[in-house]
Amino acid sequence: MNAVRAAVPLARPEPCICCGTAAWEPHFRVLKRCGTCGFIRADMSVTQEEAERLYQEGYFTGAEYGDYLADARSHRRNFAERLRLVRKIAGAAPGPVLEIGCAYGFFLEQCRDAGIEATGVDVCVEPVRHARMTSGLDARVGDFLAMPLPAGRFRSVCMWDTIEHLEHPEAFVARAREVVADGGLLFVTTGDIGAAFARWRGPKWRMIHPPTHLQYFSSASLARLLERHGFRVEYSRSTPMYRNVGETLGRLATLGRGAVGHVASLARRLVPGPLQRRGFWLDLGDIMYVAARKIP
């Protein structure tokens, strides 16, 4: 588990972002569960300054990902699939698109290559610099909540594997509603703690690692949050992920607990390079892809 100095137990019960009550119950060792609606979050808080430190370049080169850039092929295939669904759900004109948490810009690349206008924002300086300088993309460093973006500017807003990292995801959803056009769509991918595989793994589920993951949605609790802020869910299904062997071993070595982490670390050193580059699609049913339309 990553350590963050500003990640401290919450001093007082704050309202649940999904239902508004404050009836929290302990859940596993580091989480808490809303006794009213079942939403789950980490029992800690991370300051904006600490979050910005946490999500700098080291996050992509060992802190959570083994080497994000080295696994570009896998990321591009995943983002190509995500854009395919965006176009299927949004129709012929999904753009302009805004991506919150754009990192190195691989999704923005997919949009550009498809002729779709796209803008990205991220708090991490080096990945955004790479997206701008190496790929010529419209990627910006900054806090999405404070950026001067025109109301109704975008047809689609995307948060790929981002919402679970946010201290206040409700504020991001509310802001997304402001910048998306009437009838436009918000797309979200995140872990599904209500999925059968996540329930089976319990406290050992691979997605549970605060402080980088603070929010733990099920399909029901995410729908409740989105509906509370003026979106209607139109699509919600599990989504496969394209991985390669080396990337998978690296993630397990970094995030795995006990014997799993040790075995993955050893295997990563021993498995030949060509085999580590082998890719595969995997759907454990515990990552959801949700599309919600703005209700005028």
**264/1 Cα distance (integer angstroms):** 16
Q: What is the pLDDT of residues 128-172, one digit of tens each?
A: 999 999 999 999 999 999 999 999 999 999 999 999 999 999 999
**Dihedral angle, C-alpha 150, 156, 161, 165, nearest 10 °:** 30
Q: What is the pLDDT of residues 194-237, one digit of tens each?
A: 999 999 999 999 899 999 999 999 999 999 999 999 999 999 99
Confidence of residue 1 (pLDDT cuts 50, 70, 90): very low
pLDDT over 50 at 7, yes or no = no
pLDDT top residue among 187 and 59: 187
Q: What is the mean pLDDT of residues 268-274?
A: 64
From the options 3.10.520.10, 3.40.50.150, 2.20.25.570, 3.40.50.740, give the CATH code of 24-294: 3.40.50.150
Computed from CA positions of residues 281, 283, 287, 292, in that sequence, does the dihedral angle turn out positive or negative? positive
**In angstroms, rounded to a whole number, what is the distance separating the alpha carbons of residues 96 and 119?**
8
At 57-94, the pLDDT tens digits run 678 876 677 678 888 889 999 999 999 999 999 988 89
Q: Of 123, 109, 97, 83, which is closest to residue 212 (Cα–Cα)?
A: 123
Each domain of the chain, given as residue ranges in start order, spans 24-294
Q: Quick one: tokens of 71?
A: 């696994």
Q: 24-27 and 287-294 as β-strands: parallel, antiparallel, unpaired?
A: unpaired
Average pLDDT over residues 266-270: 62
**In the prediction, which pLDDT does 13 show?**
76
Phi, psi of 216 (to 5 degrees): -130, 95
274: Cβ contacts below 8 Å, ≥ 6 apart = none
pTM summary value = 0.88
pLDDT for 207: 93
Residue 273 pLDDT level (bands cut at 50, 70, 90): low
Question: What is the C-alpha to C-alpha distance for residues 157 and 150, in angstroms, rounded to an integer?
Answer: 13
